[in-house]
Amino acid sequence: MEGDSIVIEDHHRRAAASISQALIHTLQASPDRHAVTIAGESGSGKSETAAALKQALEATGIPALVLQQDDYFVYPPRSNDAARRRDINWVGPGEVRLDLMNQHLEAFLAGADHLKKPLVVYERDCIETERLACEPARVIIAEGTYTTMLESANWHVFIARDWQQTRAHREKRRRDDAELDPFIDRVLAIEHDIISQHRAKADFVIEADYSITRAEEH
């Protein structure tokens, strides 16, 4: 999303390094492309972890690119907020064009040389289109609240920090005051009820202390 601010901190790098180390044997042994998703609640560090994982993979010689779920919302941010306020039942996976995001993962995995994808421009509250080059990437990282639902991915990562634990981060990165009003707490509680169930589908869980739990361990 154009205009978004991402600050990678040490705990994001540590978590990303652990995941990269777990994947590197498979990635080095295969010429195929692969897809990873990183899901979690608002402010849990999805964007930062995705960017850190990209850096960790590239440090081992595995080029990667990142897809942000924020670009795949049906409406741009302020318009989406208005839609939620008109009807709280709008909150959920239906807000996002997950089908298109999954198609783009499939296209990447099938060898596409570029993706024609949506691009949210936050300041103008609009959605444009951009051409995202896929070469020479070997891994695509899709990050966002509901990305565990993307069935084409090879691995799913889930960040186990809930909306109450992430409030400080949301306050730090907030784009406008609407993000922290009581209505948004209602939205985040609904999202929590939906995606807390996604932990069970994850191959890697980033715990609240940023340690990593593997699927076979939880």
pLDDT tens digits, residue range 170-214?
565 555 555 568 898 899 999 999 999 999 999 999 998 889 999
Domain assignment present for 4: no
Domain assignment present for 164: yes
Long-range pairs of 91-96 with CB within 8 A, sequence gap ≥ 24: 91/187, 91/190, 91/191, 92/190, 92/191, 92/194, 93/146, 93/149, 93/194, 96/69, 96/72, 96/144, 96/145, 96/146
Domain assignment present for 2: no
Give the pLDDT confidence score for residue 4 in this predicted structure: 64
Task: For residues 171 and 165, give the distance between their C-alpha atoms in angstroms, rounded to a whole number.
Answer: 12
Domain assignment present for 77: yes
Per-residue confidence in pLDDT tens, the chain, 218 aa: 665 668 899 999 999 999 999 999 999 999 999 999 999 998 899 999 999 999 999 999 999 999 999 999 999 999 999 999 999 999 999 999 999 999 999 999 999 999 999 999 999 999 999 999 999 999 999 999 999 999 999 999 999 988 776 666 556 555 555 556 889 889 999 999 999 999 999 999 999 888 999 986 54
Structural domain including 200 reads: 10-217
For 18-45, b/e burial (b = at least 16 CB within 10 A) is bbbeebeeebeeeeebbbbbbbbbbbbb
Write out the two tokens for 180: 């922290």
Domain assignment present for 186: yes
Domain assignment present for 5: no
Domain total in the chain: 1
Segment (H or E) for 119: strand 114-121
CATH number assigned to the domain comprising residue 168: 3.40.50.300
CA distances from 205 to 31, 169, 188 (A): 26, 19, 20
